[in-house]
Amino acid sequence: MKAMNKKVTSSPFRISFIYALFAGMWIILSDTLIESLHLSHTLSSTIQTSKGLVFVIVTTLLVYVLTNRFSKTNKRFNSVLSAMRDINQLILREKDAQKLLSGACHILISNNIYKDARIITFDNENQIKYIVSTDTSDAFNAFKEKLIQSWIPKCIKQTLSGDTFYSYTKNTLQNCEECPLKSLYGDTSAFTLELKYKNQIYGFLNLSVEKEYVQDDYELLMLEEVSRDITHALYNIENENRISNLQELYNNMIDSIDNLIFVKDTDFNYIACNTAFEKFVGKDKNNIIGKNDYDLFEHKTADFFREHDKHMMLGNESLSNFEWVTYPDDSRRYLLTVKSPLLNSQGKVIGLVGNSADFTEQNHLYELLQDAQSLAKLGSWEYIVETGKFWGSDEAKRIFGLPMETEFFNIKFIQECILEKERVGQAFIDLIEKDVPFDLEFEILPMDGSDRKTLSSIAKVERDTDATAKKVTGSLRDITEQEKAKTQLQISNDKFEKAFNNTPNIIVLSNLHTGKIYDVNASFELILGYKKEDVVGKTTFEIDLWHDIQDRKKYIESFTRNGLVDGEVYKFNTKGKSLITARVYASLVHIDEDDYILAVADDITEKEKNLKLLEEKKRELETILQEAPNPIMIHTQDGKVLLVNKIWEQLSGYTYEEIDTIEKWTQKAYPHKMSIAKKGISQLYALHQKKDEGVYEITTKNGDTIFWQFSSAPVGMIEGKQTVISSAMDITELKNKDEMILNQSRHAAMGEMIGMIAHQWRQPLSVISMNVNNILLNIALDDFNAIEAEKFSRDILEQTAHLSKTIDDFRNFFKPDKEISKVKMQNVLEDTFAIVKDSLTNNTIEFTPSYESESEVYAYTRELMQVFVNIINNSKDVLVAKKIQKPTIRLRIYDDAKYVNTEICDNGSGIDEDILQKIFDPYFTTKDEKTGTGLGLYMSKIIVENHLEGIIEAYNKTDGACLRVRLLKCEIKDRLT
């Protein structure tokens, strides 16, 4: 047995064995001790005597322990058996689940068998159903509250994960720290058993039991039996309640139906009926059940009913008939009665079921309108193409809420009524211009202010001999009141014929008894290639319509068994022996006192091909996505990740199962910027077109950092959720390359800076040298003048201060930027000019700034200075190389709606158009190898566009070239992010 997988750890036999083993060891050791130590005769005698005494004491103690143990065990065994008997008696009489569980708990603690007992059960959704206990303490109330909040106690987890039907916890204070009941057990143990029946766990029984009984084999067997009995009782109570509810539901259901419903046995006695049938008979149910038709109706009526019953039972198939009957209040009703065999689970007929529907009103309408059938144009309309005028029948006018006296439909009124104007209008145009079939359902708001209606409209276009559209004829059907619309279509034969022949579905009407075709519609002729006159009067077998004769057999069997065919798919032969696939619906109709099968077939040949093609394309797309070289993820607005491809898993290190939600992905990939990443992703679901998101820093599973450049686009709706596809490009190597090039650019800039330092130091050093020489000369000539010496010294100090400031300017230029900050472009350009001014002055280049902006931008100041130094130095080199007369560099800082623009222009004749687009390429230069690296403007572009998310552009003006840097204003960037 499963319960015996764990062996008992304490029993009388084990304790006895330990005592006996101890005594035996003492006797053996004492003999060995005497022999090994060669003790004296007196001492040996003393040990022998004590050995006998020990044996007597141990034996006496063993007998006492065994006797006491068996006495206690037997008493407890009887108490447990008594509790089992009481629980079984409780199960027999108690049919309320909660009372049963509560009673069982109280029985289990009676006679102090167990200290406390509690039972927890769950429903089919694993929600707490019952929590009962003998414990009424605050701790137990706290325990219940935790359970309700989906907390699972450790004892239940332990039971579920173990190999047996039970588990126990010896020390609850140490092992059940979260449990409010941990201190209630005292020196007892927590013992938990599964309540399980037919492999379904209904709940758990938890007991407080003394440790010595925790794993007693016999007590475990009894507890297993108790838990099984309680669970079986719960199972039975649930089934009884379910049957009772079904019976009540059945009674309520048939009583809520207006149709007359009744059931008879094979002796034609009534065994069930609904309230409507009671009203028809004029008696209550108690005076109907057990009676037959001769007990309830006059003899002639009873004969009529009995004859139909016998006919139905003899043929063992459903029969229907219309009949006039008289109610107890002498009113006459025209009923459609359908009687069907009532079968048991073995398929044996055990009676019949009748269902009668009141068609009195419909029959009255049919009789009234049948005479006017040829004159009525119910629900039809015409459109004269040449004049643009609509004509509508009275029913069409009524549907649109127009006055009956209206001669023509007014196109303005019609368009105002139709809610989906564009779709319906385009379909109408496509019908006239392209012969696209017009078969639409749409909604209108009638002009008379009545409720919104849903209409179905089918139309055909009539053309003259040169295919010019002359007239469009159509039908309207108000499917808001479906049954009424069907009745009106049946009454109006003309409208029925139009609907019959204009429908795109194949319709076949064949005799139930002979199988011969009675009628087919235009779609049958069009799709299958047969003329109506070629098939009427023949069977589908005779015209070889069925591609597989077994399909015909299945069709007949389905119709015979169910009285209808509901959407079965079959293949058919056309006249030209090609194949079509159709979904068939068939039902029984009664026409001219004969039974016919009305079969409607939907040609799904193209749809089936398209579905197969779609499935193939889906597989191809999945293959393309999985094998794509760039990482791809498809995710939905509710946070689910539908797909990540192989390269995504490979580069990030995470499997799909580890990142199957956006929550998991952002938590792992953006551990320090999770909230920012989630916010950015949430904004993607409002996209209407592709969006480039920029570069993100990704943390891989092994802790590495990689850089992905993301772009996303909307996919549409999948399972009702907005869906987005995000693709990435791993630019980690490019990022590293950019850093390398940036370092190269900095080194190149350092070389240029050293040249500038040399230029700026040359004059101060000359002044210092001249002043020192003057002082030395005065000393040598013994013509020392203190006032002149002080003047020379002050001049030297001024030049030294200038040299020191120059060093500080260049040192600050090369300091790395650690954080982005708000800056004004004027301040950046003034610091830049301090670095390059001497170089410009030495080359007689005029620098004219114009500061027209007070706006701030976000920037790394040193990187931005490097950009402007590169641009100004390039302009300087061009002006010097071309030996421009009056060389000038113009600076202008100004605002537009979004950007702060910094424009630097020179009068160096401009840049050739064929190289203008290349100047930002890496290693492209027009200078010689000694003076040009081709990195300056490339790194300027990297800094502006990648680091600062701005724009840098070059263009020519009248007298020279311009470079413009555009950075977003702080307030604009804050709003966007």
DSSP code string of 885-953: SS-EEEEEEEE-SSEEEEEEEE-S----HHHHTTTTSTT--SS-TTT--S-HHHHHHIIIIIIS--EEE
How far is residue 696 CA from its own chain's centroid? 26
Q: Which of 670, 672, 661, 663 is nearest to 693 (CA)?
A: 670
Highest mean pLDDT (candidates 365-369, 749-753, 842-846, 901-905):
901-905
Q: Is 203 left (phi over 0), alpha (psi -120 to 50) or beta?
A: left
369 pLDDT higher than 50: no
Any residues with CB less than 8 A from the CB of 267 and at least 6 apart, and which? 292
Please report which confidence band the pLDDT of residue 62 belongs to, taking 50, 70 and 90 as the band edges.
Answer: very low
- pLDDT of 65 reads 47
Highest mean pLDDT (candidates 13-17, 501-505, 720-724, 731-735):
720-724
- pLDDT of 495 reads 59
Q: What mean pLDDT do residues 833-841 have?
A: 84
- pLDDT of 16 reads 45
SS3 421: helix
What are the tokens at 614? 């779609």
Q: What mean pLDDT do residues 163-175 have?
A: 74
What CATH number has the domain bearing residue 933? 3.30.565.10
- pLDDT of 252 reads 76
Amino acid at 450: S
Q: Are residues 221 and 298 in the same domain?
A: no
Domain assignment present for residue 517? The answer is yes
- pLDDT of 56 reads 47
Q: Are residues 77 and 12 in the same domain?
A: yes
Containing domain of residue 707, as a range? 610-730
- Rounded mean pLDDT of the chain? 80
Q: Is 207 in contact with 108 (CB distance < 8 Å)?
A: yes
- Report the C-alpha gap between 880 and 193 in whole angstroms: 96
Q: Are residues 65 and 39 in the same domain?
A: yes
- pLDDT of 741 reads 62
Any residues with CB less than 8 A from the CB of 622 and at least 6 apart, and which? 643
- pLDDT of 970 reads 94
- pLDDT of 109 reads 85
- Report the C-alpha gap between 623 and 67 in whole angstroms: 78
Q: Which of 633, 624, 621 is nearest to 684 (CA)?
A: 633
667 pLDDT higher than 90: yes
- pLDDT of 462 reads 92
- Report the C-alpha gap between 936 and 866 in whole angstroms: 9
805-818, pLDDT tens digit by residue?
556 655 555 555 55
- Report the C-alpha gap between 218 and 245 in whole angstroms: 41
- Report the C-alpha gap between 398 and 6 in whole angstroms: 83
167 pLDDT higher than 90: no
509-543, pLDDT tens digit by residue?
999 888 899 999 988 999 999 999 989 999 988 98
Q: What mean pLDDT do residues 879-907 have?
A: 94
Q: Are residues 405 and 470 in the same domain?
A: yes
- pLDDT of 14 reads 45
Q: Which of 657, 658, 715, 705 is nearest to 684 (CA)?
A: 715
Last residue of a domain, one of 358, 380, 413: 358
Angle between helices 825-842 and 861-881 (to 10 degrees): 30
Higher pLDDT, 948 or 747: 948
- pLDDT of 802 reads 57
- Report the C-alpha gap between 716 and 684 in whole angstroms: 12
- Report the C-alpha gap between 572 and 760 in whole angstroms: 97
Last residue of a domain, one of 565, 587, 603: 603
Last residue of a domain, one of 675, 709, 730: 730
Domain assignment present for residue 522? The answer is yes
464 pLDDT higher than 80: yes
- pLDDT of 486 reads 53
Q: Is 873 in contact with 936 (CB distance < 8 Å)?
A: yes
Higher pLDDT, 369 or 354: 354
- pLDDT of 364 reads 59
Q: Are residues 482 and 444 in the same domain?
A: yes
Domain assignment present for residue 364? The answer is no
Domain assignment present for residue 142? The answer is yes
Tell me the backbone φ, ψ of residue 669, rounded to 5 degrees.
-80, -30
Higher pLDDT, 460 or 731: 460
Q: Are residues 685 and 750 in the same domain?
A: no
19 pLDDT higher than 50: no
Query: Could you give the percent of the chain with pLDDT greater than 90?
Result: 24
- pLDDT of 366 reads 44
606 pLDDT higher than 50: yes
Highest mean pLDDT (candidates 189-193, 584-588, 918-922):
584-588
- pLDDT of 38 reads 46
Q: What mean pLDDT do residues 136-148 have?
A: 81
- Report the C-alpha gap between 648 and 653 in whole angstroms: 8
What are the tokens at 789? 């010496």
902-961, pLDDT tens digit by residue?
999 999 988 888 788 788 877 667 665 445 555 678 778 888 988 889 999 999 998 899
- pLDDT of 47 reads 46
SS3 139: helix
203 pLDDT higher than 80: yes
Please report which confidence band the pLDDT of residue 407 belongs to, taking 50, 70 and 90 as the band edges.
Answer: low
Lowest mean pLDDT among 193-207, 517-531, 770-784, 933-947: 770-784
371-403, pLDDT tens digit by residue?
343 233 357 788 888 888 887 777 788 888 888
Q: What mean pLDDT do residues 707-725 have?
A: 90
Spell out where 666-820 has E strands. 691-699, 705-718, 721-730
- pLDDT of 88 reads 86
Highest mean pLDDT (candidates 55-59, 171-175, 407-411, 810-814):
171-175
- pLDDT of 436 reads 92
- pLDDT of 618 reads 79
pTM surpassing 0.75? no
Please report which confidence band the pLDDT of residue 256 belongs to, taking 50, 70 and 90 as the band edges.
Answer: confident
- pLDDT of 10 reads 41
Please report which confidence band the pLDDT of residue 37 belongs to, taking 50, 70 and 90 as the band edges.
Answer: very low
Q: Are residues 262 and 250 in the same domain?
A: no
- pLDDT of 42 reads 47
Q: Are residues 424 and 470 in the same domain?
A: yes
What CATH number has the domain bearing residue 411? 3.30.450.20
Q: To which H or E segment does residue 193 belong?
A: strand 188-197
Domain assignment present for residue 498? The answer is no
- pLDDT of 482 reads 65
Q: Classify each residue of 697-733 as buried b or exposed e, where b means 16 or more C-beta atoms within 10 Å of its C-beta.
A: ebbeeeeeebbbbbebebeeeeeeebbbbbbbebbbe
Domain assignment present for residue 420? The answer is yes
- pLDDT of 638 reads 93
Q: Are residues 84 and 219 in the same domain?
A: yes
Please report which confidence band the pLDDT of residue 483 belongs to, taking 50, 70 and 90 as the band edges.
Answer: very low
In whole angstroms, how far apart are CA 894 and each of 383, 655, 834, 846, 901? 64, 51, 21, 21, 5
Q: Is 712 in contact with 691 (CB distance < 8 Å)?
A: yes
Domain assignment present for residue 945? The answer is yes
Highest mean pLDDT (candidates 195-199, 488-492, 596-600, 800-804):
596-600
Domain assignment present for residue 363? The answer is no
Torsion angle of the four alpha carbons 532, 537, 543, 547, in this order, in degrees rounded to the nearest 10: 90
Q: Are residues 286 and 396 in the same domain?
A: no
Lowest mean pLDDT among 49-58, 76-85, 396-405: 49-58
Q: Are residues 818 and 936 in the same domain?
A: yes
Count how many domains the chain has. 6
Please report which confidence band the pLDDT of residue 318 belongs to, taking 50, 70 and 90 as the band edges.
Answer: confident
What CATH number has the domain bearing residue 160? 3.30.450.40
Q: Are residues 726 and 857 in the same domain?
A: no
848 pLDDT higher than 70: yes
- pLDDT of 661 reads 95
DSSP code string of 252-264: HHHHT-SSEEEEE
- pLDDT of 40 reads 45
790 pLDDT higher than 90: no
Strand-by-strand arrangement of the 594-603 sheet? 517-520, 506-511, 594-603, 579-591, 564-573
Q: What mean pLDDT do residues 47-51 have?
A: 49
